Amino acid sequence: MSTSTPAVAAAPPVKKKGEVDRRAGKLRKRLSNPWASFAAILIAVFWTIPTLGLLVTSFRPERDITRTGWWTIFSNPRFTLDNYDQALFGGQTSLATYFVNTLVVTIPSVVIPISIALLAAYAFAWIDFKGRNVLFVAVFALQIVPIQVTLIPLLSTYNQWQWSGSFWPVWLSHTMFALPLAIFLLHNFMKEVPPSLVEAARVDGAGHVKIFFRVLLPLLVPAIASFGIFQFLWVWNDLLVSLTFAGGRPNVAPLTVRIAEMVGTRGTDWFLLSAGAFISMVIPVIVFLALQRYFVRGMMAGSVKG
Amino acid sequence: MDWEYVQYYFRWLWRQVWEFFFVANTPGHKIILALAVIALFVGVMALLLWLVDRPRNAKPWLVATVFAGPALALIAFGLVYPAIRTTYSSFYDRNGQNFIALDNYIRALTQSEFQLVLRNTALWVFLVPILSTVIGLVYAVLIDRSRFEKFAKALIFLPMAISMVGASIIWKFMYDYRQAGANQTGFINQVLVWIGLEPQQFIIQQPWNNFFLIAVMVWIQTGFAMTILSASIRAIPDDIVEAARLDGLSGFGLFRYITVPSIRPALVVVLTTIAMATLKVFDIVRTMTGGNFGTSVVANEFYTQSFRYNDKGMGAALAVILFILVIPLVVYNVRQMRKVEEIR
């Protein structure tokens, strides 16, 4: 993976070991400046405290939360899992249901657009057909359409089809909104595969389908992973699309919709809100920590979307 | 065999199938449905590909249709057609019945409530990119090649992995307000009390509340700026830095005359990218204030007008305004992106 995608910005240049040591020496000199270290630590603390505060709160008993701040746990350490139990299974919130909804919304909304985009990207990269360039430029340009522009016409179409109340509007919408970016990125990766490889397969009598599965797909695994993680987080964390197409329907609405609603209706119940927020965050954070490298690449590549 | 019975049977079967696909109530059913949909999709695509593959030298246009057709059809249906329809209805009144030409746009630009929305949007689009980029850049320089670099980066980058709804809750709790004299539960107000000031209602006091909402977006976007800028700082050739050092540059001089000019294109990409994301910000405003207390922005006002006030014409006009505002940013961004790549 070298040029022509924004994704490359992430790949740090490989350094030789000796050089690394030399640099480490240089660095120690730089960081010996106490003000620099102080500033760095200050920013890091400032960026961590908000999350930490809510995380600590989510484990405190309800009574303590309303009476004292989370920083008092040092003098008064009392912890409980009640909040999580309440938030997940309590009758007022039952986030467990919404957790399942989020999962059910997310999985097809990641797998299907990637598959469709892979095929289309292959067509744009390796099949010669009339109007190919015009169509590709059009797809590229369509990345910039803000999804707000599409929501109301789509909603009325779905209602005409009597799709409301099912997962289909959400799945289909996420799929369609993902396509321009996915096609563009995967096309760039496909183009980087040496033409001689494809040519050799063609000489051996392989058709497009065979070339796609046997030659290109195995080479594209990192690209698919990058985009897959990006799309996964995008769908998991999305509010606007699911609010529009699944809002207020406990059978379909995902976690984000439910939690945003709770902020409005139970805005002072911090024992529920704090636990709820972390229930919705745990999967994305695990994905982030486990696949950071791919994640960063995907984030950068997908920064235009929305 | 009784014809009526067969008819009845098929109606029953159709009903079962329909209910399986459209009425999923239990967790088990939902998960099976999700897997079934994926399986169905894979099956259909596999069948199409298999059919195309059979006659060895199938016509190129047929192959191209099977490969690119589904994507193009979905894009046409999901993006092109709705965008045209929205533009069309932006020239109509709230029910889409009477043509009112540019009235919605004129209202959006002249009425004071919408002017407030535009002012807020301008504030967001101006402040978020600059603050996130500056903080991200400073942090990237400070931790560059330090022993804890990876860990330090993860701390700042983590907010990008969580949802904006989650981030809004985190910050709403930071801003939580109790009357003076009572025990504060929001950290920022506690800090104010510690240093001897009055606690403040950060989310309600206009117009300052806008800045406290903006802070949330800065908190999220700084990680993005830091990561990209950190990568381009690493890409500055060592000999340039070495030469500058020999010329006597160090510390801030090195930063000002070597680092910043070297990563200029990356800086522009980061600024414009964050500006685009900020322009479309909806979740934060919606979760923290619902657009009340004078904090609405265009993306949120679009939702309010369309779905709360049912003013379809105005909602459409706001969506189109958003579209128009994004275009110059995207054009500039793409141009700079090319430059970044040329340098590499």
The ranges of chain A annotated as CATH 1.10.3720.10 are: 95-301
Q: Does B172 touch chain A (CB under 8 A)?
A: yes
Q: Within this chain, do residues B52 and B128 fall inside the same structural domain, yes or no? A: no
Q: Which of B112, B113, B95, B94 is nearest to B104 (CA)?
A: B94
User: Is A159 an interface residue toward B (CB < 8 Å)?
Assistant: no
Say how far apart CA A253 and CA B30 lie, in whole Å: 12
- Taking only the tens of pLDDT, chain B with its 344 residues reads 678 889 999 999 999 998 898 888 888 999 999 999 999 999 999 998 888 887 665 677 888 899 999 999 999 999 999 999 999 999 998 888 889 889 899 998 999 889 999 999 999 999 999 999 999 999 998 887 777 888 888 899 889 889 999 999 999 999 999 888 888 889 999 999 999 899 999 999 888 999 999 999 999 999 989 988 888 888 888 888 888 888 887 777 888 888 888 888 889 888 988 998 899 889 999 999 988 899 999 999 999 999 999 898 999 999 999 999 988 888 887 777 777 666 54
CB contact under 8 A, B190 and A69: yes
Domain boundary pick from B33, B66, B89: B89
Q: Do B165 and A237 touch (CB under 8 A)?
A: yes
| Axis-axis angle for helices B209-234, B149-161 (nearest 10) | 140
Residue B97 located in a structural domain: no
Which three-class secondary structure state does DSSP give residue B240?
helix
B157 and B246, same structural domain?
Answer: yes
Of B62, B89, B116, the residue that ends a domain is: B89
For A65, name the nearest residue in chain B, comparing CA atoms only: B185
> Are B202 and B74 in the same domain?
no
- pLDDT(A4) > 50: no
Residue B143 contacts residue B156 (beta carbons within 8 Å): no
Instruction: State whether B108 and B232 are in the same domain.
Output: yes
Q: What is the pLDDT of residue B101?
A: 82
In a domain, B94, yes or no: no
* pTM of the predicted protein model: 0.88
Closest approach of B2 to chain A, Cα-based (Å): 32
For residue A208, the model assigns a pLDDT of 86
CATH of the domain at B118: 1.10.3720.10
Q: At what angle do helices B209-234 and A292-301 cross, to 10 degrees?
A: 110
Q: What angle do CA B312, B318, B320 make, to 5 degrees?
A: 100
DSSP-derived 3-state class of residue B99: strand
CA distance B49 to A215: 16
Q: What percent of chain A has pLDDT over 90?
A: 42
| DSSP state, residue B142 | H
Residue range(s) defining the domain that contains residue B291: 104-343
B-interface mutation test, from A116, A124, A168, A233, most B Cβ less than 10 A away: A116
B76, B187: one domain: no
Give A56's contacts in chain B (Cβ within 8 Å): none
Which of A28-37, A175-184, B80-89 shows the lowest per-residue confidence on average (mean pLDDT)?
Answer: A28-37
pLDDT confidence of residue A5: 32
> Which CB contacts under 8 angstroms, 24+ apart, belong to A273-276?
A273/B169, A273/B173, A274/A54, A274/A55, A274/A57, A274/A58, A274/A65, A274/A83, A274/B169, A274/B173, A275/A58, A275/A83, A275/A84, A275/A86, A275/A87, A275/A88, A276/A87, A276/A93, A276/A95, A276/B169
B136 and B82 in a single domain? The answer is no
Class in CATH terms, A95-301: mainly alpha
User: How many domains does the structure of chain B reveal?
Assistant: 2
**How many contacts (CB atoms, under 8 Å) link A and B?**
355
At residue B4, the pLDDT reads 86
Give the one of B139, B152, B326 whose C-beta lies nearest to A146's C-beta: B326
Q: Does B317 reside within a domain?
A: yes
In a domain, B115, yes or no: yes
Reported as a single tens digit per residue, the pLDDT across A47-101 is: 999 999 999 999 999 888 888 889 988 888 889 999 999 889 987 778 999 999 9
Cis peptide before A153 (omega within 30 of 0): no
- Contact B283/A260 with Cβ under 8 angstroms? yes
Whether the per-residue pLDDT at A31 is higher than 50: the answer is no
Asked if the Cβ–Cβ distance from A50 to B173 is below 8 Å, we say yes
A166: burial class by Cβ within 10 Å (0-12, 13-18, 19+)? buried
- Check CB contact of B333 with chain A, cutoff 8 Å: yes
CA distance B210 to B220: 16
